[in-house]
Amino acid sequence: MTETRNESVTWLTQEAYDRLKAEFDYLSGQGRIDIAKKIEAAREEGDLRENGGYHAAKEEQGKQEGRILQLQHILENARVGEPPRTDGVVGPGMTVTVRFVRDDEEVTFLLASREESGAPIDVYSPKSPLGSAITGKKIGERATFTLPNGRSTSVEILDATPYAGPCAARMKPSVQPPRTSG
């Protein structure tokens, strides 16, 4: 079977998938029962037009239903495991180091779904302006993207390696080896 990069697929670790599935199961089961009880208790307090508890419970219910839909979409489109990737080519599931061309600042992050935010390093979405610009680029290539303020900035890809998990990220040295100019 040939793997292609599908924009609607969210790659998740088994741990992240299990965490999201447990949240979905709770919110769509016991969570709905709990919020229904809150609404019913507030309803019994009388006039709904001036009942702050009722309106707060209904607002909480709306937020909860929104989260349920979000989780359902993520889980329906999730692939558990490792996305297809090649060392040196930026893609989801890669630990990426870039250098901002303008100020020489180097940043290392995991390019992954924000649902992987439990990772011990910063997580940037592949759908973010930076993530979109660098996906598919190779080490040594540059990418330009637009910042929220409307200005453009460029980065150079310094490293792109498969994310090895939380233990490896904690053991990774924080000091980058000296770079030769060239």
Q: What is the pLDDT of residues 150-166, one digit of tens each?
A: 999 999 999 998 876 65
Residue 116's pLDDT is: 61
| Domain 94-171 belongs in CATH node 3.10.50.30 | yes
Q: What is the pLDDT of residues 89-131, one digit of tens each?
A: 888 888 899 999 989 899 999 888 766 656 577 888 888 899 9
Contacts 24+ apart (CB under 8 A), 4-10: 5/83, 5/84, 5/91, 5/92, 5/135, 7/127, 8/77, 9/77, 9/78, 9/79, 9/83, 10/74, 10/77, 10/78, 10/79, 10/113, 10/115
- pTM for this structure? 0.54
CATH topology of domain 10-80: Helix Hairpins (1.10.287)
Instruction: Return the domain boundaries, the chain.
Output: 10-80, 94-171
| Residue 149 pLDDT > 50 | yes
